[in-house]
Structure 1
Amino acid sequence: MIVQVRICIPAELSDLVVESCTQQTGTAEVAVHKGASVQPPGDVVVVHVARESVEELLEKLHVLKAQELGSIAITMPELVLSRRADLAEAAAPGDGADAMIWDEVTGRTGEDARLTWSYLAFLVLATQLAAIGIVTDSTIAIVGAMAVGPEFGPLAALAVALAQRKWKLGRSAALALGVGFPVAMLLAALTAWLSVPLGLFPANTLDTGSAVEFIYHPGPYSLIVAVLAGAAGMLSMISRRSAALIGVFISVTTVPAAGFVAVALVLGEYQKAAGSAIQLLLNLVGIVAAAVAVLVFYRVISRRLPESMARRLRSQALRAQS
């Protein structure tokens, strides 16, 4: 898999960036457009490199402060027909499907970690669907709520924040979870409270629904499923296999548990509400813990830029700027 890296850089650092790109194992092509960048003024360097070599190249560019003095844009061409590209992929260590680009994962999770109106809307709608599935004993509605729920984004961002010590990202993810779930549960409780006197469902509905018993009966498998789902979800984000996320969404009971807590409290079923709250907590903790473990594993096995090379690049950059 070939990745295109586009770098806008001041002219005085252009030669150093080009040298770093051409010497990078897995580089197929390097093109330099002198004076092509107007804002900021400088050159534009376009590199085609094997995906498994991108992380090491980005580390070099970060040392040169390319993202501060200019910009770095990464795109994935759908089709690259090149003999040099084939040779570059063969020369690069590892496999592109297993390669992790930290900036990419951080960026993707950061987009989903913000407390936005659309995030709140999806979480509220998912919790309402879950509540309807609970009172009607409908597994279809509950599965639909699992698929609609947007909570994996902030959970993945929280895992990235813990693994990378990016506390700003962690605060954003915690805010999305800490505000989103209470708001969604409060609105679900309000809907349930209004539905009882309207006769939409009986007050003893939780005593007759057999399809939802798993929600308020947490057990060892609740945590096991959450751990497996968290690992699968993070792997799908790393490998850009978004289809696997659908399976993650419909395998954990975060949103159904939140909806059950709201309905059970309204109906005075406090023991069942406590059980579903524990289910919710187990799912949240299990997903984040597994995602952090996956990220730590990738960080351990990934190639890191030697400190000696980093010092040499920094000194060369300082000389070029002076």
Structure 2
Amino acid sequence: MSEPVGCEDNPVMHLRLIVPSDRTDRVLNTLVADQRVTSIVALPGAAHRPSGDVIECDVTREATSDVLSWLKKQGLYDEGSVALSPVGATPSRNARETEKAAPGAPDDAVIWDAVVDQAYNEASGSWAYYTFLTLATMIAAVAVVTDSSILVVGAMVVGPEFGVVAALAVGLTLRRKGLCWQSVRLLVLGFALAIVLTAIAALLARAVGWIDTENVTAARPLTGFIWRPDKWSAVVAVLAGAAGVLSQTAGRANALVGVFISVTTVPAAGDLALSTALWVPDHIGGAAAQLGINLAGMTAAGVVTLLLQRFIWRQYIVRRRPGASVEA
């Protein structure tokens, strides 16, 4: 999964703009007048594809969505170019003073354009996505056979599905039907392929005598929870979904590891594939329910988290800076 756009140690984002020449003065003057923007550099005629003038600047994270929204209205998204990247460090007094001019805390700010761009990237799919999901599901199946909690954790970490779940939450929150469709399609196809290939591998393992039905039906004190969802499965899915989406929008990528090892999506898919191959109907239903509960819980929590972030940040901006416009 791609890393969230943000920086855990620095609250500044760098913008590189290609501006049509007829709008350069307007854009440059507006950026210079904004106290939340610093380190402004203009290079007339430096851009060739698209052609125009290059303007670079640093923007406080809290102001980035506001600035990007204004640039979009100026036509730079269609007739120019906008590139956004985190700044590793800005150890200068000027940068600190610029940060003081922006209301709120950097971690609380959501750069919506970056969130949407990342969501589309996650929902686009790739061979790497299908491969990682299949390998994770196979590891989970081995975890069921050996009753290994360590392998369950390993399968959770390898699985790449949370990025797609987060993309679905973004699509639902911002009412982007195309993004929703891409995300649902990728989740369905990804898990279907992973389960089918894992089931085929399980049939081959049974054919050579490596596994049998007892490997699934026997007492599994360390992995039995996978096919027995309960109320806590839903609770953990909701909490993990909220934490995962918050970690992405706030640029706290390190928190995602905890999310990966909290939810039982990939382990449930592995148990489902193994139970189907060895035909253990009771486990099939339980594993499928566990998978559905986790996906639904994470998606719902992600939507609620994003809606709350939009509401709280907008209210904070309005209170601190009347007349401001922060658009998603």
TM-score by length of 2: 0.90
- From 169, 175, 187, the equivalent of 2:185 is 175
Of stretches 21-30 and 186-195 in structure 1, the one that deviates more from structure 2 is 21-30
Whole-Å separation in 1 of the counterparts to 2:153 and 2:88: 33
Question: Which residue number in structure 2 is paired with residue 317 of structure 1?
Answer: none
CA contact (8 A) 2:119 2:167 kept: yes
SS in 1 for 2:16: strand
Please state how far the C-alpha of 1:155 moved relative to its aligned partner: 0.5
Please state how far the C-alpha of 1:295 moved relative to its aligned partner: 0.8
Question: Which residue number in structure 2 is paired with residue 157 of structure 1?
Answer: 167
RMSD (Å) for aligned C-alpha atoms: 1.9
TM-superposition CA deviations, 1:157-186 (whole Å, max 9, x none):
101111112222222211211101011101
Please state how far the C-alpha of 1:25 moved relative to its aligned partner: 4.2
Aligned residues: 310
SS in 1 for 2:46: strand
Whole-Å separation in 2 of the counterparts to 1:77 and 1:115: 28
Please state how far the C-alpha of 1:68 moved relative to its aligned partner: 0.7
Please state how far the C-alpha of 1:38 moved relative to its aligned partner: 2.2
- From 285, 289, 312, the equivalent of 2:296 is 285
Question: Which residue number in structure 1 is paired with residue 66 of structure 2?
Answer: 56
Please state how far the C-alpha of 1:288 moved relative to its aligned partner: 0.6
- From 106, 112, 137, the equivalent of 1:102 is 112
Question: Which residue number in structure 2 is paired with residue 29 of structure 1?
Answer: 39
Whole-Å separation in 2 of the counterparts to 1:16 and 1:201: 70
1:25-174 matches, within 5 Å, as 25-174=35-184
SS in 1 for 2:131: helix
Say if 2:248 is the partner of 1:237.
yes
Question: Which residue number in structure 2 is paired with residue 198 of structure 1?
Answer: 208
Say if 2:257 is the partner of 1:252.
no
Distance 1:132 1:36, change over 3 A: same
Whole-Å separation in 2 of the counterparts to 1:250 and 1:109: 21
Whole-Å separation in 2 of the counterparts to 1:81 and 1:247: 31
Whole-Å separation in 1 of the counterparts to 2:272 and 2:136: 14
- From 295, 302, 314, the equivalent of 2:306 is 295
Question: Which residue number in structure 2 is paired with residue 185 of structure 1?
Answer: 195
Please state how far the C-alpha of 1:277 moved relative to its aligned partner: 0.6
5+ long unaligned stretches in structure 1: 311-322
Please state how far the C-alpha of 1:18 moved relative to its aligned partner: 1.5
CA contact (8 A) 1:28 1:87 kept: no
Question: Which residue number in structure 2 is paired with residue 316 of structure 1?
Answer: none
Q: Which amino acid aligns with 1:122?
A: F
- From 225, 228, 236, the equivalent of 1:217 is 228
Please state how far the C-alpha of 1:261 moved relative to its aligned partner: 1.0
TM-superposition CA deviations, 1:211-262 (whole Å, max 9, x none):
2210111111101000111011111111211111111111100001011111
SS in 2 for 1:196: helix
Q: Which amino acid aligns with 2:238?
A: V
CA contact (8 A) 1:4 1:74 kept: yes
Question: Which residue number in structure 1 is paired with residue 3 of structure 2?
Answer: none
Question: Which residue number in structure 1 is paired with residue 5 of structure 2?
Answer: none
5+ long unaligned stretches in structure 2: 1-10
Higher RCO, 1 vs 2 (CA within 8 Å, ≥6 residues apart): 2
TM-score by length of 1: 0.91
Whole-Å separation in 2 of the counterparts to 1:274 and 1:207: 14
Of stretches 100-109 and 253-262 in structure 1, the one that deviates more from structure 2 is 100-109
Identity of aligned residues (%): 39
Please state how far the C-alpha of 1:309 moved relative to its aligned partner: 8.3
Whole-Å separation in 2 of the counterparts to 1:22 and 1:289: 41
Question: Which residue number in structure 1 is paired with residue 27 of structure 2?
Answer: 17
